[in-house]
Amino acid sequence: MAHRLSARGAAALAIFAVRTAELQELGLRVPQPGSMRLESLSLGDGLEENALVVGLSEARAEIHVHGGPRIVERIEALLEMEEDAPSSELAMRASTKELLLLALSQQGAGGWPALREQARRGGAAPLRAELLAAEDRWRRALPYLFPRRVLLRGPSNSGKSTLFNLLVGRQRVRVGPQLGLTRDSVEEPCVLDGLPIVLVDSAGDAEGLGEIDAEALRRARIEEKTAALLLRLLPCIDGDLASSSSEGEIRVFTREDEAASRARELGAAGHIVCDLRCAGEDLRRQLGRELRERLAPEPCPSSGACPLSEAEHAELQCLLGGA
């Protein structure tokens, strides 16, 4: 009896576990255990396909072929197929991280419940360790695979656009003493301290705004709800020594020349203080370190990161939670 190890449906690769006697019935030579052969498989009606035949033991082997539906259906018609084996079997037998990730990529929607059930029965300890490691790699790689949005907020004329240009490394937005130069949010991808982010400049807070500026400020406040982190700019003269940055923001105190004494006090208390008119690479590096510590406190894995969709990660967490 033969059974398919890969998930049902169109895929790049289909894998069948067969008895060695069935290889001979298909006209394929039997490889020695632990070896493999590339064979030509005749499927009738002029359909020929290359097959990689892997010897597992004296009695068992695997056939690896292209996963096109027509090829799979023809092979199933030629073999005496068992009921579908749990689609997790290939994952359970994975001997390396790479094979595990390949196996997981082939799990259909029905494969995860079977995999969870095997884990609950205590038969997936090695696989659980690999899954935990794969999830850890994915979690650490996530900020580098999908750059987070960092929003500049603060009063008008606090220096948001000047800081935006400094961080992106070019004159991307207009700057000047006039209020309301930035109305529509402007975003730009950049890399700070090795971390990719999407930096967003926004309208400044002000009183007595006209209809257009008030709408720009409303949109900026909506942006706050979706940003991963805020860079909140405040003039030094408004600095509160007793307050500190919240979890979702980094405070930057600007215009230190207008309140030198308060600027020194803020700096001594550990706040970021600067005069944006003469700020340069030192401030860029300092903010880059702060952003990376907040958004990606662990280093990105050098290899083996497996990008997962939200649905795939939810399934993975469900599996690990049930094991």
Q: Is residue 136 part of a domain?
A: no
* Cα–Cα dist 163/203, whole Å: 14
- Residues 99-117: pLDDT tens digits? 555 555 444 434 444 555 5
Same domain, 206 and 279: yes
Cα separations (Å) of 121 from 13, 84, 116?
29, 20, 9
Residue 285 lies in a domain: yes
Residues 80 and 197 occupy one common structural domain? no
CATH of the domain at 290: 3.40.50.300
Bridge partner residues of 187 (DSSP): 200
| DSSP H/E element including 111 | helix 111-120
- 231 located within any domain: yes
Residues 270 and 160 in one domain: yes
Residue 193 lies in a domain: yes
Answer with the one of 94, 110, 131 that is the final residue of a domain. 94
- Per-residue pLDDT tens digits for 27-85: 888 888 888 889 988 888 878 888 889 888 888 888 888 877 788 888 888 887 765 44
Q: Per the structure, how many domains does the chain have?
A: 2
Last residue of a domain, one of 69, 94, 119: 94
pTM: 0.56
**Residue 166 falls within a domain, yes or no?**
yes
> Distance between alpha carbon 162 and the CA centroid of its chain, in Å?
31
What range defines the domain where residue 281 resides?
A: 148-295
Q: Is residue 119 part of a domain?
A: no
Whether residue 304 lies inside any domain: the answer is no
Residue 88: the pLDDT is 43
Task: Judge whether 315 lies within some domain.
Answer: no
> Looking at the structure, do residues 290 and 158 belong to the same domain, yes or no?
yes
